[in-house]
Structure 1
Amino acid sequence: MSKLPVFTYQTRLRLTHEQTSCLDAYAALYGRAQRTLFARMRAGVPLNELKRSFLRRFGLTARQFNAIRVELEGKIASIRERRPELIEEAKWRIRKAEEAVGRLEEKKPGSNVVHQKKRRLAVLRAKLEALLADQESGRVRLCFGSRRLFRKQFALEENGYADHAAWKKDWQSERSSQFFVLGSKDETSGNQSCQAAVAPDGSLRLRLRLPNGLGSTSKHLVLEGVRLAYGQEEILQALSAGRVVTAQTKTGKLFRKREGAAVSYRFVRDRKGWRVFASVEAQPVALVTRRLAGAIGVDINPDHLALAETDRFGNLVGIRRIGLHLYGKSEEQAKARIGDACRQIARACAESGKPLVIERLDLRKRRAELEAVDGVRARSLSSFAYAKTISMLKAASFRAGVEVIEVDPAYTSVIGAVNHARRHGIGSHQGAAYAVARRGLGLSERPSVREAVVPTRNGGHVTFALPARNRAKHVWSFWADVRKGLKAAHAAHARSGGNRLPPAPLSPKSRALGATRALPAKPRHANRRQHCSADVLDDLPWQGNGCLWF
């Protein structure tokens, strides 16, 4: 099986009224067939028998039935694969919620906050029981049209519906708002049911095979002038690609056939009309990076991406902070900002010739944190798409020919704060990115100091002595003890009011051990934080201890 990623590109179609009606009818037939197929599969009917009956009942071609089956089997497989992770995540969140309820009952017994937390805990327990029951029985729950829209019928006025008929109209429209056209590499133009050709003006001409069940006078719907703002060259390259291979039949007879690139299409209707999504397997890209040059590590945070560049010996060369202010942004706006940041990082890696090192994050723990933090922090964490950032980093790096190294995230923040932050005059997040980059190169993670001086958010610091290291154990056991001491130091610092007071000066010994950050030249305005936006502040050229931004 190919390990190359599949990229999807989209564009909006310019259709006539007749073409729009034809696609609406196709989507309605496709939706009915898929829901019926799911019900029959749950009843245990053999797939071969289903295929014969569905071709006659719905007037489908064999290829159109395969598209319905493949999409449905993918949904079922994804639910079954995701279910164990949801069970573990629910257990994590229940544990965190129980701890939060216990703390609140000590501080605010009988308050409304405790009541709401207990309600949340009951919801999580009910969800866990349902997941465990489905896991035991092997049952798969699928709601065609989304559960969110389904539940809106129970609160019509709150969701802007005049009556149940208005909701039902939206419900039926949502359940029949898209259809999938499966492609194959051994078919003409990579797809038998939707064949694309290049027009003289460079646009695409889509020839869509319609189901016989629509009763249309024509078997095909031709869509002219299709242009993709992004991915047009990739689609044209996939259509022109092809090679002749030798295959063998079941009887042992050899024959030659032509193989190209498979192109699958998905037609989706939204409030503005119809869009088409074209998915094609990416072509291999030659690597332009090598580990002997060093590495660039990235530390992913809810409001920014911290980067650190090293040379081949693991010495710090440069740092950078890319702001990601996603709270209050729509999904498309957040994706656009994340995509811009990821392309910027991939371009920096390609120019320096160094691979990108990222953490292999456990998103279950990230989501479990929402149960035990305050509302502002919970909204910040929930509005940030960790999985989307990681996938976009990998996609941008693949296109740029940058190698991506994934490492275990254990104790990188602690190592960065204790070993690197004060020593190089950088922040804790840049120190974590530096630790990630060094781990990607397989370099040492031994403690570099005996007394930790860790910076705090208000510009101050906390100091604590590091525990003794047992060299018979793995170095991570030492960093586990350091993390406990660091948490205790931060807690004591907060209880003493250190986060609200002006930062205390460093001792002469600490100043000798670590470098201080050199501020840039003062801007034209007296108060730069008043006159500069957040994005401008992220790009100010901080310099410290010879570490320049790359």
Structure 2
Amino acid sequence: MSDRPVFTYQTRLRLAAEQVAALDAYADLYGQAERALFARMRVGIPMGDLKREFLRRFGITARQFNAIRVGLEGKIASIRERLPEWIAEAESRIQRAERVIGILSAREPGSEKLHQKKRRLGNLRARLAARIADRDSGRVRLCFGSRRLFRKQFALEENGYASHAEWKEDWQAARSDQFFVIGSKDETAGNQSCRASIEDDGSLTLRLRLPDALASDGKLLVIPGVRFAYGQEEILQALAASRVVFSQTKTGKPVRKREGVAVSYRFLRDRKGWRVFASVEARPVPIATSRLAGAVGIDINHDHLAVAETDRFGNLRRALRVDLNLYGKTEDQAKAIIGDAARMIVEMARERGLPLVLERLDLKKRRAELEVASPSAARKISSFCYSKTIAMLKAACFRAGVEGIEVDPAYTSVIGAVNHARRHGIGSHQGAAYAVARRGLGLSERPTVREAIAPARNGGHLTFALPVRNRAKHVWSFWSEVRRRLKAAHAAHARSGGLREPPAPLLPETRALGATWALPAQSRHANRRQNCSADVIDDLPW
């Protein structure tokens, strides 16, 4: 399997009534076959026998069965991968519930609140036992149509339903609202079940192969005038890459085969109509950066990205803060904001010929922390923000030919606060980005001071003595002790009322080093990508 990333682009289709009806029937048949296949797979029937059975039972082609199988196996694999995280989250929630019950037992014995907390704890333990049993037995629980919608039938009025029949209509529609058409590089136009052809005006015409059970009026559904707002050129290049190659076997027999790029399609129905998603494998881009010129380090935070640029010796050139105002935004708006920031940062790294250094974050641990966090803390450790930022930075690096370097995030915040923040007149997050960049270049992380003067949350600073370093041990053992003292110093600073003090001003000679950049606020649509022209890059304080 190729290790190249796969990019997916989407567009909304303009369809006639008969085309909509054909897609609805296809999705309904696809959903029935998918649910039946899941039930038969749990029995343990071999896949070869299932394929022969389903081709006759549902009137589908072999490629359409493969698409159903691949999509279903992907869902099963994602659930199995997520199961250990669910178990860890349940254990964390049980520990928190036990602490709360212990406090309430001493303060409010026999109260209704204590009773409800004990019921909650019993439910959590039962859920944990069920998930552990699923893990040990290999069982997978999959609810087609979403478990959230399924539970709405038990509270119809609260969820806006006048009757159970109204809910059932939504439930059946949700269970049959999409279908997948798998592609292959040895097929015409990368997909024999949905072939795309390029028209003279640059648009695409999709010829979707209907299942035999629905092909009463013809086997093909023709959808003309398809255009992708983003990714049109990539899709056209993938279609143009399809060609016929002639070769010979070992015995000298001539062989004719097709080579190209696989293009897979997913058709999805929402409240506005049908959309199509086209997935193509990205073409490799030559690396245009070098570690010999330095590096750009990034520290990811819930409301901003801290960026630091170094030269090849590890000296700080520039520090930057990129604001990400994600609070109150929808998922699509958040993706657009993060994507614009990632694209512009990678573009700046490409212009300077520098690789991008990222932290290799443990998102599973963050999801477990998220379950027991308060709402304000949950926003700070949101796994969505971190995972999307990392994914979009990696994708932007691949497209631009920028080398992406992942490093261990251990103690980068402590090193940035103690070693770099005050020394360079930058914030602790920018200091962490500087530490990330230096780690990506493999430079030293030994302490540079004997007395730490670290930034405080209000803009001031706090001071504490560093421990004596044991040079026989790894330097991270030293930073582990520094982190413990830094936490204690922050706690003492907060208890003493230090957070109420006004922030200390930056020194005049260091004020110009740090800078802040906010993404442009204007946009064409509230839930579409923000308009950030390339001219913005030239105006940045770099």
C-alpha distance in 2 between matches for 1:420 and 1:16: 62
1:157 maps onto 2:157 in alignment: yes
CA apart distance, 1:91: 3.7
Residue 511 of structure 2 is matched in structure 1 by: 517
Using the TM superposition, name which of 349-358 and 85-94 deviates more: 85-94
Aligned pair in 2 of structure 1 residues 468, 274: CA closer, same or farther (>3 Å)? same
1:265 corresponds to which letter in structure 2?
Y
Distance 1:150 1:90 in 2: 22
Q: Distance in 1 between matches of 2:485 and 2:514?
A: 34
Displacement of 1:265 in angstroms is: 0.5
For residue 240 of structure 1, what is the aligned residue in structure 2? 240
CA contact (8 A) 2:208 2:222 kept: yes
Aligned pair 1:283/2:283, yes or no? Answer: yes
TM-score, normalised on structure 2? 0.90
* Secondary structure at the counterpart of residue 479 of structure 1: helix
Q: Does 1:212 align with 2:220?
A: no
Structure 2 SS opposite 1:499? helix
SS at match of 1:184: coil
Matched residue, 2:79: 79
Distance 1:230 1:333, change over 3 A: same
Q: Letter of the 1:260 partner, please give it.
A: G
Q: Deviations over 1:109-138 (max 9, x none)?
A: 679998887776555444332221101111
Give the Å deviation of 1:421. Answer: 0.5
Partner of 2:488: 488
Give distance in 2, aligned partners of 1:53 and 1:293: 61
Does the CA-based 8 Å contact 1:60-1:213 persist in structure 2? yes
- Could you tell me which residue of structure 2 aligns to residue 186 of structure 1? 186
Query: Offset at 1:153?
Result: 1.0
Distance 2:178 2:303 in 1: 35
Q: Is the 8 A contact 1:245 1:259 kept in 2?
A: no
Q: Structure 2 vs 1, CA of residues 98 and 434 (structure 1 numbering), >3 Å: closer, same or farther?
A: farther
* Change beyond 3 A, Cα 1:436–1:481: same
* Superposition deviation, residue 56 in structure 1: 1.0
1:17 corresponds to: 17
Counterpart CA distance in 2 for 1:399 and 1:107 is 59
Q: Secondary structure at the match of 1:153?
A: helix
Q: 5 Å matches for 1:250-289?
A: 255-289=255-289
Equivalences for residues 56-95 of structure 1 within 5 A = 56-92=56-92, 94-95=94-95
Identity rate of aligned residues, in percent?
71
1:503 CA displacement? 4.9
Aligned amino acid, residue 224 of structure 2? E
SS at match of 1:223: strand
Structure 1 CA distance for aligned equivalents of residues 382 and 304 of structure 2 = 14
Mapped partners of 2:254, 2:487: distance in 1: 69
Structure 1, unpaired ranges of 5+: 522-528, 540-547
Residues 65-464 of structure 1: pairs in structure 2 closer than 5 A = 65-92=65-92, 94-95=94-95, 97=96, 101=100, 124-243=124-243, 244=245, 246=247, 255-370=255-370, 373-382=373-382, 384-464=384-464
TM-aligned CA distance change 1:117 to 1:328, over 3 Å: farther
Report the 3-state secondary structure (helix = DSSP H, G, I; strand = E; otherwise coil) of the residue aligned with 1:319: strand
Q: Distance in 2 between matches of 1:460 and 1:472?
A: 35
2:526 maps to none
Letter in 2 for 1:338: I
Describe the superposition over 1:38-80 as per-residue Cα deviations: whole angstroms up to 9, x where unpaired: 1011111221111111111111011111111111112112222
Q: Deviations over 1:157-193 (max 9, x none)?
A: 1111111111100000010000001101111111011
> Which range moved further: 493-502 or 30-39?
493-502
Contact 2:88 2:368 in 1 (8 A): no
1:202 offset after TM fit, Å? 1.0
Counterparts of 2:370 and 2:24 in 1: how far apart (Å)? 41
Moved more, 486-495 or 319-328: 319-328
Q: Given the two structures, how large is their TM-score scaled by the length of structure 1? A: 0.88
More displaced stretch, 149-158 vs 437-446: 149-158
AA matched with 1:282: A
Residues 178 and 268 in structure 2, CA contact (< 8 A), matched pair in contact too: yes
Q: How far apart, in 1, do the equivalents of 2:290 and 2:2 lie?
A: 23
CA distance in 2 between partners of 1:209 and 1:460 (Å):
66
Contact 1:267 1:275 in 2 (8 A): yes
Report the residue type matching 2:176 in the other structure: S
Distance 2:87 2:56 in 1: 41
Question: 1:357, 1:407 within 8 Å by CA — same for their partners in 2?
Answer: yes
Instruction: Give the residue type in structure 2 aligned to 1:316.
Output: L
For residues 157 and 323 of structure 2, what CA distance do their matches in structure 1 show? 40
Q: Residue deviations 1:204-244, cap 9 Å, x none?
A: 01111111112521111000100111111111101111352
Distance in 2 (CA, whole Å) between partners of 1:397 and 1:520 is: 24
Is the 8 Å Cα contact of residues 299 and 306 (structure 1) preserved in structure 2?
A: yes
Indicate the residue corresponding to 2:50 in structure 1: 50
Are the aligned partners of 2:153 and 2:167 in contact in 1 as well (CA < 8 Å)?
yes
Aligned to 2:502: 502
Letter in 2 for 1:200: D
Is the Cα contact below 8 Å between 1:421 and 1:427 reproduced in 2?
yes
- Kept after mapping to 2: 8 A contact 1:302/1:384: no
**Structure 1's 520 and 259: CA in aligned 2 closer, same or farther, altered over 3 A?**
closer
* Cross-structure match for 1:524: none
1:525 is matched with none
SS in 2 for 1:385: helix
Structure 2: runs of 5+ lacking an equivalent? 522-531, 533-539
Amino acid of the structure 1 residue aligned with 2:395: A
Q: SS at 1:136's partner residue?
A: helix
Give secondary structure in 1 for the equivalent of 2:307: strand
Equivalent pair of 1:326/1:383 in contact (CA under 8 Å) = no
| Paired residue type of 1:299 | D
1:187/1:402 CA distance change after superposition, 3 Å: same
Deviations 1:381-423 (Å, cap 9, x if unpaired)? 4485211111111111111111110001101101100101111
C-alpha separation in 2, matches of 1:263 and 1:38: 25
**2:298/2:433 contact within 8 Å kept:** yes
For the residue of structure 2 that corresponds to 1:23, the secondary structure is helix
Q: Note closer, same or farther for the CA distance 1:83–1:375 as it changes in structure 2 (3 Å cut).
A: closer
CA–CA separation in structure 2 for the residues paired with 1:94 and 1:161 = 34
1:517 shift after superposition: 3.0
Kindly provide the amino acid, as one letter, of the partner of residue 517 in structure 1.
Answer: R
Partner of 2:389: helix, strand, or coil? helix
Which residue number corresponds to residue 543 of structure 1? none
In the alignment, the residues of structure 1 paired with residue 381 and residue 120 of structure 2 have an alpha-carbon distance, to the nearest angstrom, of 18
What amino acid sits opposite 2:342 in the alignment? Answer: C
User: How many angstroms apart in 2 are the aligned matches of 1:324 and 1:114?
Assistant: 41
